[in-house]
Amino acid sequence: MVLNLNNACMLGLCLKHTLSRLGLSFCLLSLTACSQSDVQKKQSAENKLVKDQREKTEKKERAIPVEVHRLSLGTVRATVKAVSILSPKEKASVRSLISGLVTELYVEEGDQVKPKQKLALITRPGAKSLIRKAASLYRKAKHDVKQLQNLVKKGLAPREELTQAKFNRDQTAIELTRLQEEAKNEILRSPIAGVVVNRPLYRGETVSPGQVIFEVMDLSNIYAPLNLPDRWSTKITEGMTAQLFDREGTLLSAQAHVSHVSPVIDANTGTFSVWVSPDTQATRKSTQKKKGKSKRSKMKAQKEPSNPHKSKLKPGLFVSTEITLGEHKDVLVIPKEAVIYKDGQAQVAVARNDRITLVNVEIGYQESKVLELVSPLKLGDVVVTFGQRGLDTGALIKPIWPKGLTIEKDQNAKQGDRIPNQLKR
């Protein structure tokens, strides 16, 4: 019985020792596995960091293609733009002052007329008989006055009858004059020289006093009325040059000028009136110079009358005007798309050694496509015109020149600078 107890104790001790060794081995295995996973995670993190750094480095050094332009000299104008509708300076609505029947039409729509030229004839039934009757009454009244004057001198008639006869004579004279003046209104005449642009009536129709029968406009003398803000009132003066364009931007008249500037400003709208007129006389002079001063050309010009209504500039045409405030010649010009603005400051990306440098610049006169560059760049500098947005100073670029330009190394430029042979504006 004692032996069995001893054996059991020995067996328990052996089992305890074995279990403790197994637990220790399991802990060692667990620690080894944890250390290996930590090392793998650390290595993968380091590899990812190296890869990201390499990608960033490659991305920084990757050349970005941009379009470039070489600065040149040119002319820049400061202009004021506005839209308007052409109007004639002289137009007339020929109206009937009497009622009657239109029996004659001497002109048609589109015909040129002169001042006091006959346009139409209006007939009034019974008008001639009324004039003859008034004339006979006037002659009788005059005769009565003469007879009474002789009788009054002889004392055979009272003076009151002579006074009444004179009154009747004056009344018949007034009535005859009125009928004669109305007879003059039967013939409609043009008050101005121009072109018949409208004739709403036909032969045989009746008219009433005040009814419009013709509309005449002087198409050779037109202008574009403008209403400009008051801030331009001190800068725009008469005689300034201007240009006229149509809706699509096509040039209609390259020779125009400011013909009138209103001396007052409308307090309700804050605008003032300006007239822009095409230079028709200048156009005629240039045409005569091209033809020459020979007698034959002068005689031919006299025989061939001008047709102002066939001109491109017609009343009612929508036009866009550009008034030139000033002009700077032989100045440094830059394409408008090359200038970017940051916090209100104009900047230009200058290309040097295939890298860009953002430079703050000062802008002068501005046009629709080019700007005047006052400072600090100089003639021959290469600027980026497209693709510069989002790039910082020092970015690597690949310059792309416009088509048709050859690129060569400039002897005076640094290594790596490339400029075109010549850029004409």
Residue 58 confidence (pLDDT): 54
| HSE-up of residue 267 (Cα within 13 Å, Cβ side) | 0
Three-class secondary structure of residue 64 per DSSP? strand
Q: Is the pLDDT of residue 68 over 80?
A: yes
Which of the residue ranges 29-33, 312-316, 361-365 would you say has the lowest mean pLDDT?
29-33
Three-class secondary structure of residue 168 per DSSP? helix
Asked if 223 and 89 touch (Cβ cutoff 8 Å), the reply is: yes
Q: Is the pLDDT of residue 299 over 60?
A: no
Q: State the DSSP string of 265-308.
A: -BTTTTEEEEEEEE-HHHHHHHHHHHH-S-HHHHHHHHHS---G
pLDDT digits (tens, 9 = 90+) for 193-215: 999 999 998 999 999 999 999 99
pLDDT digits (tens, 9 = 90+) for 349-402: 999 888 888 999 999 888 878 889 888 888 889 999 988 888 888 888 888 888
Residue entry with tokens 């405030």: 325
> For the whole model, what pTM was predicted?
0.60
Encoded tokens for 102: 């239109």
Question: What's the residue count for the chain?
Answer: 425
How far is the C-alpha of 149 from the C-alpha of 153, rounded, in Å? 6
Q: Is the pLDDT of residue 27 over 50?
A: no
Identify the structural domains of the chain with CATH numbers, from first to last: 64-76+330-420 (2.40.420.20), 94-217 (2.40.50.100), 219-316 (2.40.30)
How far is the C-alpha of 201 from the C-alpha of 113, rounded, in Å? 18
How far is the C-alpha of 15 from the C-alpha of 47, rounded, in Å? 48
Which of the residue ranges 24-38, 197-211, 249-263, 371-385 would you say has the lowest mean pLDDT?
24-38
How far is the C-alpha of 353 from the C-alpha of 159, rounded, in Å? 119
